[in-house]
Structure 1
Amino acid sequence: MDIDAFVAAHRPAWDRLEHLVRRRKSLTGAEVDELVELYQRVSTHLSIVRSGTQDAVLVGRLSALVARARSAVTGAHVPVWREFVRFFTVSFPVVAYRARWWWLITTLAFLAVSWIMGAWVAGDPAVQAAVGTPEEIKQLVEHDFADYYSENPAASFASRVWINNAWLSMQVIMLAIFLGLPIPWILFQNAANVAIAGGLMASRDKLDVFFGLILPHGLLELTAVFLASAVGMRLGWMVVAPGPRRRIDVMAEQGRAVISVAIGLVVVLFVSGLIEALVTPSGLPTWARVGIGVLALVAFLAYIGYFGRKAERQGETGDLERAPDVVPTS
């Protein structure tokens, strides 16, 4: 390597980095970005010099400069509130938005299965007999289904619902490590449970009670579960068909991005739990309770649509990994 030519070509970048390091406490946003970029570039230069020359003076100078730049970069902590805002305006919504077609297909498949099975249960006395005795069905339809939402104090009920739903969503996302194959089965089991309850209520002309109790919280709750399922299955599919990229790179990037959904859904399901504990069993008219559920769902979808689309246009993926210390070089 011609060390003199190398130094002449890259000295302006080294001098600029040194200048930015000296002024690190008064840098603008653009200069901070430049500082990070130059730090990566000069780190690469140091690696090249170490492997291509025995010039101890040059190695020492670049080593000291990279050490000072590293201190400037890693010592400039972003305020916690900015990380919080970025998570809820970029990381979480962009992953959900990029999985929107998987999310939609999951939702439609669940609803179709639930509707078909519910109609089967409602219209076939033999199926109802297999579910329970007439006395048990009567107890469920006239008392147990409605009492479930009001038999416990609102605070403890909300916390229990939140924990159960959050854990279900976490499980669904974690099943992505099995290529998402178990997720359809879990969704089918939940669809069957909804269909059995709805079918039994419909068979006793209580379908209005069923929807009046399940829709206020169920709209947002099930939408969150569908999202968790969608990103889990999408991750599994991307591992199977990674495209031109290396499978391990896709799996790592998308796995980190999916963590954003897991964390974000904790908040969404907390809201759903509050609605289930405070609105569903309340004395409000059915139209008001269902209206609150619809508003919560519309607000969530609008939030994902606005911030997710905006972040995707900016090239965001939701990947939580920070930039590396070096840049690619040939």
Structure 2
Amino acid sequence: MTTPLRFEAEHADAWRELEDALENLARWRRRGTGWQRPDPARVAALYRAACEHLAIAQARAYPRHLVERLEALTQRAHEAVYRRSELGLARLARLFAIEFPAALRRHPVCFWLAAAGLALPMLAIGVACWLEPTFVLTVHDAAAVRGLDAMYGDRDEPIGRSGAEADWLMFGHYVRNNVSIAFQCFASGLFAGIGSLFCLLYNGISIGAVAGYLTQAGHARNFYSFVVTHGAFELTGIVVSGAAGLLLGGALIAPGRRDRLDALQHAARDAVLLVAGAFGMLVVAAALEAFWSAARWIDAPVKLGVGAACWIGIAAYLALQGRPRRASAAGASAGASR
């Protein structure tokens, strides 16, 4: 039978590796992108091995200090592997404060390609419909165009609505509509990314046609004051969803050194973060559209000013939030408060 000293010598390296991995995992969870996250599969494997070593040590009645060390190590590993806080408010705060913007910055090509896929056709069709209003009929039918004149004209009903529906009902409608568009932009990315680009192109054409026509028709004040605030969140959310779809498509087209299934699984980790962040933006957009954008009692200059602030805030959030220094400072202040 293996002596306790030999047993400890044979497995000491694995125990130290698990201890280091648990320390790094704790730092990563506290401080964010400034620390590299340990490989979950490796941590789980080391944890299972430590459990086996504990069972052997107990069965062979090894010295108490050795058994206690393994008990403490396996308990720490169990708490780290099966922690329950992943579904709590702290996990949600971490998602939006660190993980989502950091994941988006790791894939700038996907983001800017998605942004171009939405913005370029929007601008092109918008200018075309502004120069020739009848061009809108190539995108929307006559009944829809008449509805636009009614929704954005000067009347008593809320802006952007065909009737006087309650704000809460419209909030639910906007959430369903926004999430549906975003899901299409994301899920269609599995078709080598072409589906995501098509969805972005289609929505850009549709939005641009509406904007160009209403500008030419004399409804620019009502239309732009209506869309400017919630559009910061809605359009960005759609672009981020498209970027997530392009990320999946890119993994299928160019998997690199991985096989395609492994590359898809790897890309899906960040894609899920992007979709979660986009969903949050789209819910905020729906709330603003229902309760703020449609209100006629708020002056247009106020809406335009708040909308500009929202666009600047979104740009700063995506560019700066969750960077290593900021994450480390947040973790340090949290540690000091404890």
Is the shorter-chain TM-score for this pair beyond 0.5, marking a shared fold?
A: yes
Name the amino acid aligned to 1:99: H
Partner in structure 2 of residue 53 of structure 1: none
Partner in structure 2 of residue 90 of structure 1: 98
Name the amino acid aligned to 1:102: C
Name the amino acid aligned to 2:129: V
Instruction: For 2:93 and 2:134, locate their aligned partners in 1 and report how far apart those are by CA, in whole Å.
Output: 54
- Relative to structure 1, the CA distance from residue 145 to residue 70 in structure 2 (aligned partners, 3 Å threshold; closer, same or farther) is farther
Name the amino acid aligned to 1:217: H
Q: Does 1:250 align with 2:263?
A: yes
Q: Is the 8 A contact 1:215 1:290 kept in 2?
A: yes
Name the amino acid aligned to 1:144: M
Q: Does 1:169 align with 2:182?
A: yes
**What's the CA shift string for 1:198-241, capped at 9, x where partnerless?**
23213323333332222221122011101110121122112211
Deviates more, 1:274-283 or 1:209-218: 209-218
Identity of counterpart residues, as a percentage? 16
Q: Report matched runs for 1:82-161 at 5 Å.
A: 82-124=90-132, 127-128=135-136, 137=145, 139-145=146-152, 147-149=159-161, 151-161=164-174
- Relative to structure 1, the CA distance from residue 78 to residue 303 in structure 2 (aligned partners, 3 Å threshold; closer, same or farther) is farther
State the 1:99 CA deviation. 2.5
- Relative to structure 1, the CA distance from residue 39 to residue 114 in structure 2 (aligned partners, 3 Å threshold; closer, same or farther) is closer
Name the amino acid aligned to 1:304: L
- Relative to structure 1, the CA distance from residue 254 to residue 70 in structure 2 (aligned partners, 3 Å threshold; closer, same or farther) is farther
Partner in structure 1 of residue 200 of structure 2: 187
Partner in structure 2 of residue 288 of structure 1: 302
Partner in structure 1 of residue 311 of structure 2: 297
Q: Residue 74 of structure 1 is aligned with which of 71, 75, 78? A: 78
Instruction: For 2:219 and 2:193, locate their aligned partners in 1 and report how far apart those are by CA, in whole Å.
Output: 36
Q: SS state of the match for residue 321, structure 2?
A: helix
Which structure carries more relative contact order (alpha carbon 8 Å, separation 6+)?
1
Q: Residue 307 of structure 1 is aligned with which of 318, 321, 326? A: 321
State the 1:127 CA deviation. 2.8
- Relative to structure 1, the CA distance from residue 250 to residue 15 in structure 2 (aligned partners, 3 Å threshold; closer, same or farther) is closer
Deviates more, 1:5-14 or 1:267-276: 5-14
Q: Report matched runs for 1:13-28 at 5 Å.
A: 13=13
- Relative to structure 1, the CA distance from residue 126 to residue 296 in structure 2 (aligned partners, 3 Å threshold; closer, same or farther) is closer
Name the amino acid aligned to 1:177: L
For structure 1, which runs of at least 5 residues remain unmatched after alignment?
A: 50-55, 315-330
Instruction: For 2:191 and 2:15, locate their aligned partners in 1 and report how far apart those are by CA, in whole Å.
Output: 51
Partner in structure 2 of residue 10 of structure 1: 10
Instruction: For 2:126 and 2:277, locate their aligned partners in 1 and report how far apart those are by CA, in whole Å.
Output: 31
- Relative to structure 1, the CA distance from residue 99 to residue 39 in structure 2 (aligned partners, 3 Å threshold; closer, same or farther) is closer
TM-score of the pair, normalised by structure 2: 0.70
Q: Is the 8 A contact 2:252 2:263 kept in 1?
A: yes
**What's the CA shift string for 1:59-82, capped at 9, x where partnerless?**
9669x9978854542246353343
Deviates more, 1:194-203 or 1:265-274: 194-203
For structure 2, which runs of at least 5 residues remain unmatched after alignment?
A: 30-36, 154-158, 329-338
State the 1:5 CA deviation. 11
Q: Is the 8 A contact 1:107 1:226 kept in 2?
A: yes
State the 1:157 CA deviation. 0.9
Instruction: For 1:42 and 1:118, locate their aligned partners in 2 and report how far apart those are by CA, in whole Å.
Output: 59
Instruction: For 2:17 and 2:293, locate their aligned partners in 1 and report how far apart those are by CA, in whole Å.
Output: 60
Q: Is the 8 A contact 2:50 2:70 kept in 1?
A: no
State the 1:132 CA deviation. 5.2
- Relative to structure 1, the CA distance from residue 292 to residue 6 in structure 2 (aligned partners, 3 Å threshold; closer, same or farther) is farther
RMSD of the alignment, in Å?
Answer: 4.2
Name the amino acid aligned to 1:148: G
